[in-house]
């Protein structure tokens, strides 16, 4: 089986799962191409999603697409990857599997969305996987949600998915629609999912990317690490740039800044507010915490 894995991973969790999957697929004598599109300038700076995919992707039988869950949905830019997939042909495989990692609060409706988009692209989803991981903002804050995850606890699920992929060449004609199993959130959570709009929250609600100029040493590390290539420079000082200036608040830039020159609007006051919000959101019984069971899974559950 020739398997293509496309992954977008600002915090590294989804990439870690993709590499685990690649390792197990190769061990089972599958041919694998792992395409990490994180910080791909052609895609995220120039908007050439279709062109980049056409150029980089090798012929395959099955495509896996890995995304983090943002605001209970497939990450906004990963949706553009789904929407720009060419129709299946001699190069582009007809079988597909989405997988997501999420920061412990909720996987939302991400897998259901992904399966729907894959079907719209003309593909047959044969499985889907969610993996609980550390929360993307935990590195910067006092709140620690699933610190150190994903780790070895994810391996049984990744191994199960690899086994299903290895079997797919002979049994994909018997694949049944498992969409109903992805309808696992309760009414409250579905309502919250309907309210949460990633692009609007990033643009209007969350604090804006800010650089303290006299702290900046103009090293350019933040420009390199931005997963959606939204950081440019003016007189060598970082600033939000490009036609689409929406920051996805992954905090990758703050993690690599050697002088803590990057903050968000009101400095420590805003970090404290983000910390407070995450405490509320991640708390058991919170309106925004789904407390879903199982926490990690491969669908369809057999």
- Residue 125 near residue 96, CB atoms below 8 Å: yes
Q: Nearest Cα to 252, choosing from 237, 242, 238, 269?
A: 238
pLDDT digits (tens, 9 = 90+) for 129-172: 999 998 766 556 666 667 788 999 999 999 999 999 998 877 65
pLDDT in tens, 174-202: 678 899 999 999 888 888 888 888 777 77
Integer Cα distance of 212 and 104 in angstroms: 32
Contact 9, 38 (CB under 8 A): yes
> Parallel, antiparallel, or unpaired for β 95-102 and 2-7?
unpaired
The domain made up of 198-282 has a fold known as Alpha-Beta Plaits (3.30.70)
Domain with CATH 3.30.70.20 in the chain: 198-282
Q: Which residue has the tokens 């929360």?
A: 135
pTM of the model: 0.89
Q: Which part of the chain is CATH 3.40.50.360?
A: 2-185+292-299
To the nearest 10°, the Cα dihedral for 283, 286, 288, 290? 80
Which stretches does DSSP call E strand in the chain? Answer: 2-7, 31-36, 62-70, 73-74, 95-102, 124-125, 128-132, 209-211, 231-234, 237-240, 262-264, 297-299
107-138 pLDDT, tens digit per residue, is 999 999 999 999 999 999 999 999 999 876 65
The sign of the torsion formed by the CA atoms of 120, 123, 128, 133 equals: negative
The whole-angstrom separation of Cα 196 and Cα 286 is 15
Condensed to tens digits (0 to 9), the pLDDT of residues 12-27 reads: 999 999 999 999 999 9
Strand partners, 102: 132
Topology at the third CATH level for domain 2-185+292-299: Rossmann fold (3.40.50)
């Amino acid at each position: 089986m020739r398997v293509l894995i496309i992954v977008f991973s600002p915090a590294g969790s989804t990439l870690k799962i993709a590499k685990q999957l690649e390792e197990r697929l190769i061990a089972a004598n599958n041919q694998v191409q792992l395409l990490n599109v994180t910080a791909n300038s052609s895609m995220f700076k120039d908007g050439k999603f279709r062109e980049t995919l056409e150029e980089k992707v090798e012929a395959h039988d099955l495509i896996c697409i890995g995304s983090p869950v943002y605001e209970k949905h497939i990450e906004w830019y990963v949706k553009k990857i789904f929407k720009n997939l060419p129709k299946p042909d001699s190069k582009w495989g007809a079988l597909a599997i989405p997988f997501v990692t999420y920061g412990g609060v909720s996987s939302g409706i991400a897998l259901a969305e992904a399966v729907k988009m894959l079907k719209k692209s003309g593909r047959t989803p044969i499985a889907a996987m969610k993996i609980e991981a550390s929360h993307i903002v935990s590195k910067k804050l006092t709140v620690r949600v699933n610190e150190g995850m994903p780790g070895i606890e994810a391996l049984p699920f990744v191994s199960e998915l690899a086994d299903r992929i290895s079997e797919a060449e002979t049994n994909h004609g018997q694949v049944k629609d498992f969409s109903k199993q992805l309808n696992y959130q309760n009414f409250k959570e579905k309502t919250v999912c309907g309210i949460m709009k990633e692009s609007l929250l990033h643009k209007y609600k969350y604090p804006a990317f800010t650089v303290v100029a006299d702290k900046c040493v103009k090293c350019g590390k933040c420009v390199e690490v931005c997963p959606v290539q939204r950081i440019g420079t003016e007189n060598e000082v970082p600033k939000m740039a490009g036609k689409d200036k929406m920051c996805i608040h992954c905090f990758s830039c703050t993690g690599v800044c050697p002088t803590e020159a990057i903050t968000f609007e009101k400095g420590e006051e805003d970090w404290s507010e983000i910390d407070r919000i995450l405490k509320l959101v991640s708390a058991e019984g919170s309106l925004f915490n789904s407390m879903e069971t199982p926490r990690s899974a491969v669908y369809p559950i057999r």
